[in-house]
Amino acid sequence: MEIEKNKAVRRVLRHLLALEDKVKGVAFPGMKRVRQIDAYSCGPAVISALFSFLGVQVSQRKIITSLRAQKKIKSLGLNISDLARATGAAGKGAFVFWKKSGAKISDLQTIINKYKFPVGVEWQGVFYEDEDEDNGHYGIVTEVDKSAGYLRMADSYSKFVGVDRRFRIKDFEKRWWDQNEVSVSGTSKKKTVTDHKMMFVITPKGVIWPRKLGMVKA
């Protein structure tokens, strides 16, 4: 699937992907495809889904409450630091949030194919008719096929959840960035930070393979 603007064609392509999954099996079947509870909650939905892969059930509302972010999420969403803090709270110290900026497609492929973990990414989502001035979004990459030039992504947005989306790698790479407003330490000021090619995983404590890929604990 390329970025397809025709709604009817998109419905057909989604149906074909669903049939493909029935034949060959869904990637990471133990991971719940979580529907975000509102337009702002892609971050909590992704954390909830990644925890479900690890056998831990945590609700999006619990994640938001643990951060005291009920107001913030509606105006700014959650940044990577927020997701890391939410992981610590939800995992009760038993899990680690790893991140890497400036990641490569080969990093995603290695994590999925070698280490068998789904990978969170921060990107400019493709919302078609629902697009607005801020398309910042989180998703979970579940398959990477560099030879074919495509990847699959679990998307928590209500119109896409349930069947992992398929994008050309070159289209995804152009959108693999986001901007966030963060506090300046020691002041009441804010600044805008751009995340380039940010990826993240959640692992049980004691797992160290992310270091081999240049990932750091957040």
Express each pLDDT in 203-218 by its tens digit: 999 999 999 999 999 9
Tell me the Ramachandran region of residue 128: left when phi exceeds 0, alpha when psi lies from -120 to 50, beta otherwise. Answer: left
Q: Look at residues 92, 66, 83 and name the one whose alpha carbon lies nearest to residue 121.
A: 83
| Tokens (6 digits) for 50 | 């990644």
User: What is the radius of gyration, based on Cα positions, of the chain?
Assistant: 17
pLDDT at 35 exceeding the cut of 90: yes
Q: Distances in Å between the alpha carbon of 53 and those of 3, 25, 159, 183, 204? A: 28, 16, 22, 32, 11
Range 43-47 average pLDDT = 98
| Tokens (6 digits) for 137 | 């979004």
- CB-CB contact of 168 with 2 (8 Å): yes
- Domains of the chain, first to last: 7-217 (3.90.70.10)
- CB-CB contact of 28 with 53 (8 Å): yes
Q: What is the β-pairing status of strands 150-154 and 136-145?
A: antiparallel
Residue 54: count other Cβ atoms within 10 Å of its Cβ. Answer: 16
pLDDT at 21: 98
209 in helix, strand or coil?
A: helix
pLDDT at 178: 95
In whole angstroms, what is the distance from residue 90 CA to residue 135 CA? 27
pLDDT at 186: 75
Q: 42-46, 128-132, 135-139, 186-190 — which is least confidently predicted?
A: 186-190
pLDDT at 71: 87
Which residues on adjacent β-strands are paired with residue 191?
A: 182
Question: Per-residue confidence at 169, pLDDT binned at 50, 70, 90?
Answer: very high
Residue type, 148: A
The percent of residues in the chain predicted with pLDDT above 70, rounded, is: 99
pLDDT at 2: 60
pLDDT at 101: 98
| Tokens (6 digits) for 22 | 């029935």
Question: Per-residue confidence at 138, pLDDT binned at 50, 70, 90?
Answer: very high
pLDDT at 1 exceeding the cut of 60: no
Question: Per-residue confidence at 108, pLDDT binned at 50, 70, 90?
Answer: very high
DSSP H helical ranges for 58-152: 60-66, 72-75, 80-91, 105-113
pLDDT at 55: 97
More confident: 190 or 198: 198
Range 168-184 average pLDDT = 91
Mean pLDDT of the chain: 94
Express each pLDDT in 48-95 by its tens digit: 999 999 999 999 999 999 999 998 898 888 999 999 999 999 999 999
Q: Look at residues 174, 165, 168 and name the one whose alpha carbon lies nearest to residue 141.
A: 165
Backbone φ and ψ of 91, nearest 5°: -85, -5
